[in-house]
């Protein structure tokens, strides 16, 4: 890896992260909260200055005009370090509001990874604070690297390596041959859906500021809300159903949605096998939970369906917001909802988790393996949408799922040992690794907070959130000895 390339890319990214951190100053001025200008001004300028120094004083970094010949190892490291730096810089403003360094980093990383787990115990903060929580989630939802690829000419060619390093799905889905155009198209769909939800939520009587914050978090599949009771605090069934629909869309492939819009063929979305499985699983699990709520928790079928669909969409897309305190549900619906935490959303979406496409590939691979026992000479291929999936991708998928559950198990074991509570260990590990947000129980449930957790637990969850957001691959690659070979220049 070449240090000058790394310094050039990271310096450029730090510069634009710094500019993004300055945006909440506008909100502070609008609401006359001039004291909130300083946290974001200092943090933003600090990031810009560090980025400038990195490009200026690392030898030959400033002479690189583009990153067209960037290597895959360099792209992986740039993406991983960018997310770590984004978390640190995002957490810097929170320090000015009285949060400890660990809590500030936890809240920030939870935001940018769209996990939505919070350490807040009270919501007595100014509008700029809450706007930044939601905006950081929105930026992290589709990916800061994808954003920079779309707007920065320096990443026009090199962006391909970083695009797939940031969200390494089982297949390399693109809309156009130029990855920059693909990134731009994704952001158009993403921003367009956000604007539509803002408008629709306002028709329910929700204040404009809350509409903006909740919509930014919803499309990011993040879950942060300025209301301490999340969506439940607005007492609006219409707002719950609207948010459910947009959470569902946030978990569907934005590439597929772009194709539907451009080709003007709504039924095209149902020709996609991953979407059909995703939609089918959401409906099945929602109906099962609704029936459980009806028979065991005294819900009416109407309310049971509403809250079941909302929570299943929220959990499977890793949004994590709540329409009701599901920690108060009986055992069966809670177990069903815990199962949903392992489902995941579609590839090329804002959602986290294992992703439906990987489950499809694992299922079909297992089915073929069983068939081969009976018919050892049969030539069997795994097909998705009539396209044969290469064996290399199938092997990578199996490895990914194995390491996903390994990371989950290690995280659960460590948190259980620290907290001396198995429920907190299991829920805390999967909610962090899957970027889901709330856990179970009254302490870490949807209306609770992770503030009382041990400092070590928070650090473990911070690491798990980052590993989960980068989908494990960059994390695993860093354990290769050959990865850490540096050169001062090209």
Q: Are β-strands 383-384 and 387-388 bridged in parallel, bridged antiparallel, or unpaired?
A: antiparallel
Per-residue pLDDT, 176: 54
Measure the CA–CA gap between 237 and 306, rounded to whole angstroms.
8
Are the C-beta atoms of residues 472 and 479 closer than 8 Å to each other? no
Diameter over CA atoms, the chain = 74
Cα separation, 459 vs 236, in Å, equals 36
Q: Which long-range contacts (CB under 8 A, 24 or more apart) does 26-29 make?
A: 27/127, 27/128, 27/131, 28/126, 28/127, 28/128
pTM: 0.89
Question: Does the structure show a pLDDT above 80 at 441?
Answer: no
Q: What is the pLDDT of residue 66?
A: 62
Q: Which residues pair with 2 in a beta bridge?
A: 487
Q: What is the pLDDT of residues 39-51, one digit of tens each?
A: 999 999 999 999 9
Q: Residue 110: what pLDDT? A: 93
70: left (phi over 0), alpha (psi -120 to 50) or beta: beta
Q: Which residue is listed with tokens 């990153």?
A: 67
Report whether 251 contacts 354 (CB < 8 A).
Answer: no
- Considering only residues 200 and 435, tell me which one the structure prediction assigns the higher pLDDT: 200
- Closest by CA to 378, choosing from 389, 387, 367, 386, is 367
Model pLDDT, residue 56: 79
C-alpha span between 455 and 457 (Å, rounded): 5
Return mean pLDDT, the chain.
Answer: 86
In sequence order, what DSSP letters do the residues of 271-314 get, joined into one string?
A: G-HHHHHHHHHHHHHHHHHHHHHHHHS---HHHHHHHHHHHHHH
388 φ/ψ angles, rounded to the nearest 5 degrees: -75, 130
Concatenated DSSP letters of 36-78: GHHHHHHHHHHHHHHHHHHHHHSTTTTT----TT--HHHHHHH
318-329 tens-digit pLDDT? 888 888 888 889
Q: Is the pLDDT of residue 412 over 80?
A: yes
Q: Does the structure show a pLDDT above 90 at 91?
A: yes
pLDDT (0 to 100) of residue 121: 87
Q: Give phi and psi for 352, each to the nearest 5.
A: -105, -155
Tokens standing for 210? 């809350």
Within 13 Å of residue 114, how many CA atoms lie on the same side as its CB?
35
**pLDDT value of position 203:** 95
Q: Give 271-285 pLDDT, tens digit per residue.
A: 899 999 999 999 999
Q: Which of 142-151, 346-355, 457-466 has the lowest mean pLDDT?
A: 142-151
Q: How confident is the model over 105-121, as pLDDT tens digits? A: 999 999 999 888 899 88
Per-residue pLDDT tens over the stretch 52-86: 888 777 766 666 666 666 777 777 788 888 889 99
The band of 183, judged by pLDDT with boundaries at 50, 70 and 90, is: confident
Q: 487 has which bridge partners?
A: 2
Tokens 């919803």 sit on residue? 218
pLDDT tier, 375 (very low <50, low <70, confident <90, very high otherwise): confident
Percent of the chain with pLDDT over 90: 45
């Amino acid at each position: 890896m070449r240090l000058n390339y790394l310094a050039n890319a990271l310096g450029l990214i730090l510069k634009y992260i710094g500019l993004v951190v300055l945006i909440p100053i506008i909100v502070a001025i609008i609401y006359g909260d001039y004291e909130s200008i300083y946290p974001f001004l200092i943090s933003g300028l600090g990031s810009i200055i560090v980025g400038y120094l990195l490009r200026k004083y690392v030898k030959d970094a400033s002479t690189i005009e583009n990153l067209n010949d960037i290597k895959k190892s360099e792209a992986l490291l740039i993406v991983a370090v960018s997310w770590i730096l984004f978390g640190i810089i995002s957490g810097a403003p929170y320090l000015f509001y009285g949060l400890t360094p660990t809590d500030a980093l936890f809240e920030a990383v939870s935001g940018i990874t769209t996990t939505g787990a919070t350490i807040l115990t009270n919501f007595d903060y100014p509008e700029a604070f809450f706007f930044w929580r939601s905006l950081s989630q929105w930026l992290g939802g589709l990916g800061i690297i994808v954003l920079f690829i779309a707007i920065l000419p320096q990443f026009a060619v090199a962006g391909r390596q970083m695009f797939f390093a940031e969200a390494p799905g089982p297949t390399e889905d693109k809309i156009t041959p130029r990855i920059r155009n693909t990134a731009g198209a994704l952001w158009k769909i993403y921003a367009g859906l956000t604007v539509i939800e803002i408008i629709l939520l306002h028709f329910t009587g929700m204040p404009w500021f809350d509409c903006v914050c909740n919509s930014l978090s919803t499309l990011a599949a993040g879950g942060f809300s300025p209301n301490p009771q999340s969506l439940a605090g607005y007492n609006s069934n219409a707002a719950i159903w609207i948010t459910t629909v947009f959470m569902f869309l946030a978990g569907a492939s934005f590439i597929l949605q772009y194709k539907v819009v451009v080709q003007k063929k709504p039924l095209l979305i149902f020709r996609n096998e991953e979407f059909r499985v995703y939609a089918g699983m959401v409906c099945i699990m929602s109906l099962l939970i609704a029936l459980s709520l009806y028979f065991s928790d005294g819900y009416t079928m109407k309310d049971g369906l509403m809250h079941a669909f909302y929570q299943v969409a929220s959990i499977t897309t890793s949004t994590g917001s709540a329409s009701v305190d599901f920690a108060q549900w009986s055992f069966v619906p809670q177990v069903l909802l815990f199962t949903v935490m392992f489902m995941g959303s579609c590839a090329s979406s804002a959602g986290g988790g294992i992703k439906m496409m990987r489950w499809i590939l694992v299922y079909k691979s297992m089915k073929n393996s069983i068939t081969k026992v009976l018919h050892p000479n049969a030539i069997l291929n795994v097909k998705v949408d009539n396209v044969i999936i290469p064996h290399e991708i199938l092997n990578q998928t199996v490895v990914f799922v194995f390491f996903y559950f390994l990371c989950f198990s290690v995280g659960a074991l460590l948190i259980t040992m620290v907290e001396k509570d198995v429920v907190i260990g299991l829920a805390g590990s999967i909610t962090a690794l899957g970027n889901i947000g709330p856990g179970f129980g009254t302490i870490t449930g949807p209306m609770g907070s992770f503030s009382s957790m041990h400092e070590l637990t928070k650090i473990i969850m911070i690491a798990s959130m980052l590993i989960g957001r980068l989908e494990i691959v960059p994390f695993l690659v860093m354990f290769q000895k050959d990865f850490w070979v540096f050169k001062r220049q090209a």
